[in-house]
Amino acid sequence: MSVERILPFLILATVALSGLLLGMGQGDFEPFFVAVLGVSASTILVDWLKWFRLPNWAANLLAILVAIVTVSNFYFTNDSVRHLLGVGKLLVYLQTILTFQRKSARVYWQVLVLSLLQIVVGAVFNLGFEGGVLFIIYMMIAGVTMMVLHLYQDRQLVKLQNESSIRLSRSSRKIQANAVWTISTKPALQRGVLRRMVAAFLIFASGALFFSVLLFYFLPRDNTSWAGPQEIPMQATGFDEKVSMDHSELILLSSKLQMNVRYWYPGDEQKIFRPSREPYLRGMALSNIEIDGNRTKWVAPPYQIYASDFRPLKMGISDRWVTQEIVLEPTDDPLLYTAMPPHFTNDGEFLTDYEWCWPLGALTRQRSAEKITLSHFRYRLQIPILSSGEFFSAYPYFARDGSVALTMEQDPGVYKWYTYLDRNRYPTLVQVAGEIGERVADGNHNSIARQMESYFRSGQFSYTLDYRDIDRDETLDTVEDFFANYRAGHCEYYASALALMLRSQGIPSRMVVGYRGGDINGFGGHLDVEAKHAHAWVEAYIRPEDCSDYLMQTGQANDTGAWLRLDPTPSLDTNDAVTGADEALDFAKSLWRDYVLGLQADTQSRIVSADQLNLSGALRVLDLDWWQNSLNRLREDLQEPNGWKRYAVPIFIITILVLGLVIYLRERSLRKNPKKRAEYGSLRGVRRGLARALHLVSPRLSDWVVRELGRSADDVPFYRQMLKSLEQAGFHKLPQQTHREFAESVARGEPKNEPLNRLGTLTKTITDSYYLVRFGNGKLDEQQTKTVEIALHDLQELLQQTANS
Amino acid sequence: MSVLAFIILGSIIRQVNLLMLLSGLMIAPFFFNWRISMKMLEQVIGVRRIPRLVFAGSPFTVGWRLKNYRNRIPSWGLRVVDRIGRADAKYMDQVTVLVPPLAAASEAEASYQCLLAKRGVYHLGPAQISSAFPVGLIRSKIKIREVESLYVAPAIGRLHRSWNQMTQSLSRGEAKKQRQHRSEIGDFYALRPWVTGDNPRQVHWRSSARHGELMVRQNEQQQDRRLVFILDLFESANADCDIEMALSLAATVFKKYASGSGQPAAGVFGNQQYVCEQLNSTALPALMKVLATIQPAAANGFQENWESWLQIPGPRRSMVVISTRSQKEAFANGDMSSFRGKWIDLNREEITRYFQPPTIEPGEFMKQIAKRSERDA
């Protein structure tokens, strides 16, 4: 295929990838479709069919118009994100307009530059791991495109030079004194050269990638200077989470990653803490009930939140605590998730402004620390744990006015707020709650709350996400209907019902939304928290007198009471089977996020510091103890259920590398072995490919295939027999020889250079018959068969005599 | 470069990691392209090959032979930029030639076709061999500073039949004029078998019948007089002739007779004098080199050399003088009777009887060359 034909396809691939990356960055795939359709249409209409072509002036005019329209939109908004989106689209439109012009090397270069600028815009929006992989593929394809474009440019240069020379010579009817006309010959691109060039390019690209990675990690970064990340103003929006009980369809579990969570013991990041029970990553509390027809909604307080409602976190006080690091996927929501209760960590790097918003019962971040790129957000907190290796199930209550220590009952407004309930809407629910309350003789709120929680787990209720077959009573409130009738639902129904039951018994309560658990990633040692792990549960206020000694002693409650976590939802294993590949992918994603997208000045200095680069680590391999410890650790890991999965990817990579090495060595040995090459050369097409491929695995198997397939290539028995006899006598048919040429060479006595006329005559006779069978009517008549048999017999006899003599 | 600078600055200022990575991925190709393109040119030697004899109006090939002396690394994406132009011109034309992929320890040939309108001295070079492999971002070059001079002889025209008749009659003498219409030349020498290309009239039918195959008569080459071609470029105030046509005629004649068997002599008199005792293919380039640059002169040495011509021993001579003046004018102070031969005075219309000047249509010519070049590619 010529350079001129390949180039449009490469340009199309480049443009499609840059459009896709821009679309991924912006979350809008319009640029991708415009780019692909535009370039495809232009290739067909302008280059192949030659129906239509934009003159330069028209293309320029269109480009100016598009630019004016885009820039004019900038005046209607000050949002720099929207500006960038506009720039991205402008680039795609300009690129599309360009492609409708007559193609030249210049036009192709401009298309490539615009495509690169799209990548730049896409990169500003931070691409995820998939985007990163596409980004590398884009760079490779763009590189190959540039290489082919470079060849095309050279050829175009010569073509234009020749055309210009012809044009000038045609206009010069009268010979001018200084006239010199030249025509350069264009060398044809030999078969296979382009393939070799691409192979060479891949080596070049690997070098370039290595170089760029080094550059990336050594390029100066300074987060504190004026040149730091661009900030966008804080907006106290995004607290509109609400839960509405009106589902009537199948709720699908989404595997969209929300965050990564990692715990470790203080002082050693390598010492991973794995909680004995799934952690509850608390988001925010929904304390208000709204009634909409027959639906109950749980919402955050709708009124204005004041600055005084935000409280800074305290430093950790517990003697047992772990460091929690959470990396949130890009979001513009200031809500932070955490196990309870969160404390500041003394890690200076992460000592930023996280505050507790009292009315919302939520941890929030200041948006000023966020990049325009809506990048991943990483934060560390200090979380106390119990001696059993669990997180707290309750945490101390503190009043809205932080300066005074009040219980909730001493704060009537708050108490009323958290106990508000329209009892008439939920008759069955209130009745059952009353019955449970009566069963607890001392009226201990803690006991009542626990019993109510167990009521839902007693087997009378079931978990479901499929509401399609549920027959609802439209006259009842959805929560009452759930509780009294169908008794199947998901966490929001259970949490809602329990919170209402608690309130009916005068126990302040609120619904809490967040995430429970996550998939443990064996490679990174972190939890991958996905959308499917979203959960709702209840927090009940327990008076100090109802708090058990255990709660008090462990710091889960204090003199002002405690918020007790209650999870009434019957368990349902929503986790998909996590494979080693999934884990590897997740781990790769976290590496991309941590060491590419999220690389900051401090992390960079840590990575490239002398400590990291010293040789002591490498010298460990000489230490026998190190080997023994490593083997012990490996044995322990393998004994754990699914422990082998941690080693799946390294084993896979090592296997691939070893296989690659074996294949390379075999291929090299094949290239250096002319006899083998000749054998494979005797096969054609797919057969040859198969034989070569098998050679990489097993040369013996390949030899067998060559024999079998080779036989089928010349599947005429008498000819095969002749070849065999001649081969034994030292006459080998070369792959490039036709059958007749081989017969001629035998007649000439090659390769021995001895005249063997008789042998040549016999070979020619058999070869003629072979041609008749193979390319003629397919069979010989009686006379011909007899001739061949005699010739074959004579030939073998002659060869025998020659061998004896 | 400006795009790269923009991206690098933007990435550092805004601390956008992906842009930094992109910057790296853009700087790296520049760096590697520079190194690889330099490598492509290492130990690559290029030599220009020009023909020995070039005529104005006739295309010729300038070849470039490139050799890669490395044993392992091939050279790809090589391009030769050559320069060509008149020695006295201010500007030179530039020709770009693409070199086929050059494998390790191998040679490759690249060439371009050239058509020069006028005779004279042309310079080729300095040239440049360059490579921008693999992605064309940076081009490395090596310069070949040598400048080669190319002498372009006058354009070749067409001699009419009357010219042949005239020269034949001169070479054989007047007495044998009657025989010139006969196809046979010279006396009978022997019989030989017929070969393709022999004149059918030469077939000796009786011998053919006797031998069973066609036999032809072979005659002795008859060359009584030796032809001497002289170009006399005399500069005079009242001369109104086309010097270039005279040169073109002389070049055409010299070229024709240099490849023949008669071995005539030739002389050129103008601002340079050149005498060639035996005009053959070996002597032709030097003669053409003189024709490429010669100009008329008032004292061109014709008369001074005339006597010496007459003194040279050997067979009798018949002169053919192509002159910018009349015979009388040339021998104003000498003995005109010693002249035997044909005097072609360019001031008279006589030249058109013998010679059709070259008609160069460069447009068509170039088109044909380009087509052939495309087809070859």
For residues B100 and B63, the answer to whether their CB atoms sit within 8 Å is no
Q: What is the mean pLDDT of residues A27-45?
A: 86
pLDDT tier, A248 (very low <50, low <70, confident <90, very high otherwise): low
B134 and B77, same structural domain? yes
Chain A, residues 784-803, CB within 8 A of chain B, namely none
B197 and B148, same structural domain? no
In our burial notation (b when 16+ CB lie closer than 10 A, e otherwise), range A673-705 reads eeebeebbebbeeebbeebbebbbeebeebbeb
B133 and B251, same structural domain? no
For residues B65 and B172, the answer to whether their CB atoms sit within 8 Å is no
Containing structural domain, residue B271: 158-178+223-356
Whole-number Å distance between alpha carbons of A763 and A771: 12
- A369 CB near a chain B CB, below 8 Å? no
**Omega before A341 cis (within 30°)?**
yes
Helices A129-171 and A580-592 sit at what angle, rounded to 10 degrees? Answer: 70
Chain A, residues 172-211, CB within 8 A of chain B, namely 172-173, 175-190, 193, 196-197, 200-201, 204, 207-209, 211
What three-state secondary structure class fits A236? coil
Containing structural domain, residue A428: 412-512+536-566
Tokens describing residue A494: 């259970």
Query: How crowded is residue A475: how many other Cβ atoms within 10 Å of its Cβ?
Result: 8
B275 and B130, same structural domain? no
In a domain, B371, yes or no: no
Whole-number Å distance between alpha carbons of B222 and B188: 11
Query: Phi/psi of residue A328, each to 5°?
Result: -80, 140
- The domain total for chain A is 3
Q: Using CB atoms, pick whichever of B101, B134, B363 lies closest to residue A147.
A: B134
In our burial notation (b when 16+ CB lie closer than 10 A, e otherwise), range A436-446 reads bbeebeeebbb
In a domain, A48, yes or no: yes
> Above 50 in pLDDT, residue A234?
no
Choose from A417-426, A586-595, B296-305 the range with maximum mean pLDDT. A417-426
Whole-number Å distance between alpha carbons of A493 and A296: 10
Chain B residue at shortest CA distance from A112:
B3
B60 and B112, same structural domain? yes
Residue where a domain terminates, one of A548, A566, A584: A566
- B2 CB near a chain A CB, below 8 Å? no
Q: What is the mean pLDDT of residues B165-179?
A: 66
- Partners of residue B140 in chain A, C-beta under 8 Å: none
B103 and B166, same structural domain? no
E-only strand ranges, A180-231: 180-184
In a domain, A302, yes or no: no
Q: Does B97 sit within 8 Å of A123, measured CB to CB?
A: no
Please name which of B44, B40, B97 lies closest in space to residue B67, comparing C-alpha atoms: B44
> Above 50 in pLDDT, residue B182?
no
Strands A180-184 and A310-312: unpaired
> Above 60 in pLDDT, residue A752?
no
Q: Which pLDDT does position A578 carry in this prediction?
A: 47
Please name which of B284, B310, B146 lies closest in space to residue B228, comparing C-alpha atoms: B310
Tokens describing residue A712: 């089928």
In a domain, B329, yes or no: yes
Please name which of B151, B184, B181, B155 lies closest in space to residue B169, comparing C-alpha atoms: B181
B171 and B50, same structural domain? no
Q: Using CB atoms, pick whichever of A150, A161, A165 lies closest to residue B77.
A: A150
Q: Which pLDDT does position A208 carry in this prediction?
A: 84
What three-state secondary structure class fits A329? coil
Helices A3-26 and A105-124 sit at what angle, rounded to 10 degrees? Answer: 20
For residues B204 and B217, the answer to whether their CB atoms sit within 8 Å is yes
In a domain, B130, yes or no: yes
Please name which of A133, A112, A608 lies closest in space to residue B18, comparing C-alpha atoms: A133
CA angle (A640 as vertex; A638, A641 as ends), nearest 5:
110
In a domain, A373, yes or no: no
In a domain, A311, yes or no: no
pLDDT tier, A233 (very low <50, low <70, confident <90, very high otherwise): very low
Phi/psi region, residue B44 (left: phi>0; alpha: psi -120 to 50; beta: rest), is: beta
In a domain, B131, yes or no: yes
Whole-number Å distance between alpha carbons of A88 and A107: 19
In a domain, B337, yes or no: yes
Which of A18, A120, A133, A373 to probe the B interface (max B CBs under 10 A)? A120
Whole-number Å distance between alpha carbons of A515 and A338: 9
Q: Which pLDDT does position B292 carry in this prediction?
A: 93
Whole-number Å distance between alpha carbons of A74 and A82: 8
- B14 CB near a chain A CB, below 8 Å? yes
Q: Is the pTM of this model over 0.80?
A: no
In a domain, A648, yes or no: no
Contacts of B149 (CB under 8 A, 6+ apart): B87, B121, B122, B123, B124
> Above 60 in pLDDT, residue B264?
yes
Q: Which pLDDT does position B353 carry in this prediction?
A: 85
- Any idea what the CATH number is for the domain that residue A553 is in? 3.10.620.30
Chain A, residues 495-534, CB within 8 A of chain B, namely none
More confident residue, A770 or A668: A770
Interface size between A and B, measured as CB pairs under 8 A: 231
> Above 90 in pLDDT, residue B251?
yes
Q: What is the mean pLDDT of residues A709-721?
A: 68
pLDDT tier, A684 (very low <50, low <70, confident <90, very high otherwise): low
| Torsion, CA B104, CA B107, CA B108, CA B112, rounded to 10 | 140
Whole-number Å distance between alpha carbons of A715 and A65: 70
- Any idea what the CATH number is for the domain that residue B325 is in? 3.40.50
In a domain, A21, yes or no: yes
E-only strand ranges, A547-593: 562-566
> Above 90 in pLDDT, residue A161?
no
pLDDT tier, A507 (very low <50, low <70, confident <90, very high otherwise): very high
Q: What is the mean pLDDT of residues A64-88?
A: 80
Tens digit of each residue's pLDDT (9 = 90 or more) over A367-395? 544 444 456 788 888 888 888 888 888 99
Longest dimension (CA), chain B: 106
Q: Which pLDDT does position A246 carry in this prediction?
A: 65
- Any idea what the CATH number is for the domain that residue B122 is in? 2.60.40.10
More confident residue, A146 or A79: A146
In a domain, A608, yes or no: no
In a domain, A486, yes or no: yes
B253 and B113, same structural domain? no
B150 and B171, same structural domain? no
Whole-number Å distance between alpha carbons of A424 and A406: 31
Please name which of A349, A370, A339, A242 lies closest in space to residue A297, comparing C-alpha atoms: A242
- The domain total for chain B is 3
B202 and B128, same structural domain? no
> Above 70 in pLDDT, residue A160?
yes
Q: Does B135 sit within 8 Å of A147, measured CB to CB?
A: yes
B289 and B211, same structural domain? no
Report the Cα–Cα distance between both ends of chain B, in Å, rounded. Answer: 34
Q: B250 CA to chain A: closest CA distance, Å?
A: 20
Tens digit of each residue's pLDDT (9 = 90 or more) over A281-308? 998 888 888 888 888 888 887 666 676 7
Whole-number Å distance between alpha carbons of A340 and A529: 17
Which of B3, B9, B14, B16 to probe the A interface (max A CBs under 10 A)? B16
Chain B residue at shortest CA distance from A173:
B361
Whole-number Å distance between alpha carbons of A328 and A379: 8
CA angle (B230 as vertex; B228, B234 as ends), nearest 5:
160
Interface confidence, given as ipTM, is: 0.75
**H/E element, A457:** none
Whole-number Å distance between alpha carbons of A362 and A310: 10
Query: Phi/psi of residue A4, each to 5°?
Result: -65, -30
For residues B71 and B105, the answer to whether their CB atoms sit within 8 Å is yes
What's the gap between Cα A162 and its chain centre?
50
Strands B317-323 and B226-232: parallel
Q: Which pLDDT does position B377 carry in this prediction?
A: 53
Tens digit of each residue's pLDDT (9 = 90 or more) over A655-666? 888 888 888 887
In a domain, B305, yes or no: yes
What's the gap between Cα A632 and its chain centre?
33
Tens digit of each residue's pLDDT (9 = 90 or more) over B8-49? 777 777 667 777 888 888 888 888 899 999 999 999 999 999
For residues B141 and B130, the answer to whether their CB atoms sit within 8 Å is yes
In a domain, B22, yes or no: no
Contacts of A243 (CB under 8 A, 6+ apart): A286, A297, A298, A299, A492, A495, A496, A511, A513, A536
Tens digit of each residue's pLDDT (9 = 90 or more) over B109-161? 888 888 888 899 999 989 999 999 888 889 999 999 889 999 999 999 899 88
Tens digit of each residue's pLDDT (9 = 90 or more) over B210-239? 887 888 887 655 556 778 899 988 887 666
Q: B23 CA to chain A: closest CA distance, Å?
A: 8
Please tell me the number of Cα atoms within 13 Å of B279 on its side-chain side: 26
Whole-number Å distance between alpha carbons of B50 and A719: 55
B230 and B212, same structural domain? no
Q: Which pLDDT does position A751 carry in this prediction?
A: 54
B28 bridge partner residues:
none
Whole-number Å distance between alpha carbons of A284 and A306: 17
- A91 CB near a chain B CB, below 8 Å? no
Contacts of A753 (CB under 8 A, 6+ apart): none
**Omega before A751 cis (within 30°)?**
yes
Look over chain B and give the mean of its residue pLDDT values, rounded to a whole number. Answer: 82
